[in-house]
Structure 1
Amino acid sequence: MMDRPGRLGRVGSGCLVLSLLVLSSACMVGPDFTRPAAPRQEAYLRESTPAAVEAEGQVQRFVPGGEVTPDWWRFFQSAPLDALVRQAISDNMTLQAAQARLRQSQDTLMAGYGVFYPQLDARFGASRQRSTLAQQGLTNTGSIFNVLTLSGTISYTFDVFGGERRAIEGLQAQVENQTWLTQAAYLTLTANVVNTAIARAAYAAQIEATQQLIELQRQQLQSTEVQVRSGTSPYSATLSLQSLIASNEALLPALQQKVSQAEHLLATLEGVMPADARLPDIRLTGLSLPENLPVSLPSVLVRQRPDILSAEALLHQASADIGVATAAMFPSFSLTGTYGTAGSSTGSLFSSAGRFWSVGPSVDIPLFEGGRLWYGRQAAIDAYQQASANYRQVVLESFAQVADVLKALEYDAQVLQKQAEAQATAQEALRLLQANYRSGLVTYLELLVADVQLHQVNIAYLQALAQRHQDTVALFVALGGGWWNRPDAGAGGPAP
């Protein structure tokens, strides 16, 4: 009967361990995250979206519910443009940094999972000490001795109220956020490359149009000089034409500077130095306008756009933080065991006399924290409300962006059609005035006005054409870029 208390103690300890294991599987405190509901709207505009828009015989059709192709830039049917985009995807530094941040968040998540496993540590210590009995009020001489210690400790924290699981949930949300930020960087990069290539081509076309106009004006100058020598025109006409030629020539450096800036930006996007860039010659007239334009449903858009999904991930993280802050207000349970040996030398280190061990649970109960835990939880709730408002704002801005682009494409077609008509009219007017001027039927001033008008119309036409191309790019971007249709979409990383 002498060992009964020992048996009861062992049984009690076993029951305590079993109870802690049961507690560790308890439900988690804090809210369970639910994805925001998709909007019920079926359209982006109050008025109906036109089925198609047309300018100069080029028709763009809107396809409601159509799928967005991940390599949407290939619709422009330009092999050099496709090569530019793919090089940027391969070598762009900003995209590589985003990918590294994604890997960092994934590794941080894997490190966080370690809290669910027992923690095992080993320790070895060696010291030489001198003790004195004077500390105990005695006068005996102290002694000098060595202490060697070798021990191991195993500990396990029971996640009774789910604080650790909520923390892991927050890390998972961080991975999701970085995934969508990487997708956003990928989409922004491809759009910037295409838009910059279009702008460069438009500036080059404006330079070519200005040079053609200058050449025409030089031919007019020769005719005017002949008329001045024959006495049929005043010398002031020659001076005015020379002034106009100089003014148009002054426009060329500004346009050439814009071309250089576009090329330098493309080099940066490509991940090379401007001096090392080898950019293909892409002409504005060599770009085909995509004909079939998908228009995703609003309920689908919120599951496609990287910025909306990133805001949703931040909302999920804020929800998990509420659980972490709530669990911190409750007791925490842990079980720790230590086993080791000590001795005055390596020979006695492993003797049975120097062995020691301890095992047992511990409970930490927060009793009074001066409001730190309570207000910490309130701050987490406030952060969740802020993330919720930010999410709704991102959705609103996204819908507005799609609506803006749909209207822009409609107006672009109208503007381009009118500019094309104005261009044809100005060219015919100039041709007739040149013939009449050589015959002496019109004044030089009339011819001069026609020259200026043609130049302005040509520049406006090229700008309208470039704007239509760029707004087409904006539609693909506003719809999310089609990342979900890439073969590697499940891996969460951009295509190689």
Structure 2
Amino acid sequence: MKTPLPTPKPLCRAVALAFAGLLLAGCAIGPDYKRPEHVLPAQFKHAEGWKLATPADLEHRGRWWELYGDTTLSDLQQRLGASNQTLAQSVAQYRQAQALARGARASFFPSVSANVGKTRSGQGGGSSTVRLADGSTVTSSGSSGVSKSYDANLGVNWELDLWGKLRRQLESDTASMQASAADLAAARLSLQSELAQNYLQLRVLDAQRRLLDATVAAYQRSLTLTENQYKAGIVTKADVAQATTQLKGTQAQAIDLKYQRAQLENAIAVLVGVPPAEFSLTEVDSVPGLPQVPALLPSQLLERRPDVAAAERDVMAANAQIGVAKSAYFPSLSLTAAGGYRGDSLSDWISTPNRFWSIGPEFAITLFDGGLIRSQVAQTEASYDQTVAFYRQTVLDSFREVEDYMVQLDVLEEESGVQQEALDAAREALRLTTNQYKAGTVDFNSVVTTQTTALSNERSVLTLLGSRLTTSVQLVAALGGGWEQAQLEKADSDAEELP
């Protein structure tokens, strides 16, 4: 009857339980994380005319592009999330960070390994000759042979986290994973913003194309009228040439818009992961309207910007690495156990005489390293200071971006009002001049001048509309788009659920 392997004595079990208690109750080496301090303004400088966000304002913030009320834009945003390859790279990076955090959690548990093997070994034989004092020689021969060994064993190793090294490493990896989740959100928001800007600019170009087509039709009628008057001897040939020049120049402007539109359409195709040759957007008769974008308190901005959250999580990870580095000053304790069978013959390999086992703790501490640990601690502290400075700069940049886009929208709105007044005046001047020309009281040059002025003002109004739409998208992105910091907690829980 085979006897079982000996079990550890009660004293060993008591030691193991004591160390387990230290694992659970011990304090981690290194500083606990605290958010770096920074000065927050009471309000945005250019917030006049803006209202604070309310729950109703943020009800659909996850799909912020719906503020523009364009179904085609919404469809394109969905395609971007599913097929954009730049976004796919960021998703893969986030998955790597998740796997790293999962690996850090695994270090809290014992590692178990099993080994089964066969070994053949041999020792070479031969002869040797020794000459004696009387001149005679003696020859001796050695034995040689090949031996076999069979081995099967099971080993367990467990590093106890007495000083919190593993806990700090898990804290660092978890923070890095959350930073990666925020980086992914920032990359997604940037691509969504780029797509929205390209799409809105394309729709403004469509509006300009419609304007130029209508203008070309009007200039064609003007040219026909001038040619009839020339035939009747009322105007000179120069008036016909001037009308022709104006018509062809406007047609050239319309043709130039085709190239600009194609560029935007191709850019949108790449963003949604489609070859440009297989993608097209049908022209529509309207331009999306400007949305009412609610402003936030400066403190809320820190909860809404994924790049700010990523920078803060990098600070958290760097802070935990200080504890990991400092834990090298203290001894490490590992519990190891092994057992199995080892024999020379396969027939009686698994038998009591061939049984072996071992168990015991192992302490390890660095007695002298020439200042290596101290330098590593200094490196982590410097890295922490660097991430703090970057975090504070990111916060400052976020405030600047919001202020810039707020004042830009205010200025563009004021400029658009004045430009609209200029357009109204130009249209009235064109109407009066055209009537005077038909009555023969002014020459054709006056008509051309007023027509050119009116067209220029029409295009300026559309250009300002495009600028306001683009700036509104940039402001939404600067305010964090549809992102919120609570998503990091979800990212953390998702990582824990991964197999």
TM range (shorter): 0.7 to 0.9
User: In structure 1, what is the equivalent of residue 97 of structure 2?
Assistant: 105
Contact 2:28 2:168 in 1 (8 A): yes
The reply to whether residue 24 of structure 1 matches residue 23 of structure 2 is yes
Moved more, 84-93 or 214-223: 84-93
Task: Note the 1:351-362 alignment, pairs <5 A.
Answer: 351-362=351-362
Give aligned-pair identity as a percent: 27
The reply to whether residue 466 of structure 1 matches residue 484 of structure 2 is no
User: In structure 1, what is the equivalent of residue 402 of structure 2?
Assistant: 402
Deviation at 1:41, TM superposition (A): 2.0
User: In structure 1, what is the equivalent of residue 115 of structure 2?
Assistant: 123
Contact 1:80 1:280 in 2 (8 A): no
User: In structure 2, what is the equivalent of residue 160 of structure 1?
Assistant: 162
User: In structure 2, what is the equivalent of residue 79 of structure 1?
Assistant: 71
Deviation at 1:443, TM superposition (A): 2.0
Contact 1:80 1:282 in 2 (8 A): no
User: 1:378-435 deviations in whole A, cap 9, x for unaligned?
Assistant: 1111111110011011100101111112111211211111111111111121122112
SS of aligned partner of 1:483 = coil
Of 228, 231, 234, 1:232 maps to 234
User: In structure 2, what is the equivalent of residue 42 of structure 1?
Assistant: 42
Deviation at 1:280, TM superposition (A): 4.8
Change (3 A) 1:408 1:231: same
Q: Which amino acid aligns with 1:158?
A: L
User: In structure 2, what is the equivalent of residue 57 of structure 1?
Assistant: none
User: In structure 2, what is the equivalent of residue 261 of structure 1?
Assistant: 263
Partners of 2:314 and 2:10 lie apart in 1 by 47
User: In structure 2, what is the equivalent of residue 147 of structure 1?
Assistant: 149
Deviation at 1:248, TM superposition (A): 2.4
SS of aligned partner of 1:63 = coil
Q: Which amino acid aligns with 2:356?
A: F
SS of aligned partner of 1:177 = helix
Deviation at 1:485, TM superposition (A): 10
Change (3 A) 1:184 1:282: farther
SS of aligned partner of 2:361 = strand
Deviation at 1:319, TM superposition (A): 0.8
Moved more, 404-413 or 380-389: 404-413
Unpaired segments of 5 or more residues in structure 1?
1-8, 52-61
User: In structure 1, what is the equivalent of residue 392 of structure 2?
Assistant: 392
Deviation at 1:39, TM superposition (A): 4.6
Of 210, 216, 219, 1:217 maps to 219
Partners of 1:415 and 1:434 lie apart in 2 by 28
Contact 1:337 1:358 in 2 (8 A): yes
Task: Note the 1:335-484 alignment, pairs <5 A.
Answer: 335-484=335-484
Of 86, 94, 97, 2:86 maps to 94
The reply to whether residue 313 of structure 1 matches residue 329 of structure 2 is no
Change (3 A) 1:242 1:213: same
Deviation at 1:139, TM superposition (A): 4.9
Partners of 1:187 and 1:440 lie apart in 2 by 60
Partners of 1:313 and 1:448 lie apart in 2 by 63
Task: Note the 1:182-221 alignment, pairs <5 A.
Answer: 182-221=184-223
User: 1:99-142 deviations in whole A, cap 9, x for unaligned?
Assistant: 3332332222112211111111011121221125889x995312
Partners of 2:30 and 2:453 lie apart in 1 by 69
User: In structure 1, what is the equivalent of residue 3 of structure 2?
Assistant: none
Contact 1:105 1:174 in 2 (8 A): yes
Partners of 2:195 and 2:322 lie apart in 1 by 41
What is the RMSD of the two structures over their aligned residues, measured on CA atoms?
A: 2.6
Q: Which amino acid aligns with 2:366?
A: P
Deviation at 1:16, TM superposition (A): 4.7
Q: Which amino acid aligns with 2:326?
A: T
Deviation at 1:478, TM superposition (A): 1.6
TM-score by length of 2: 0.87
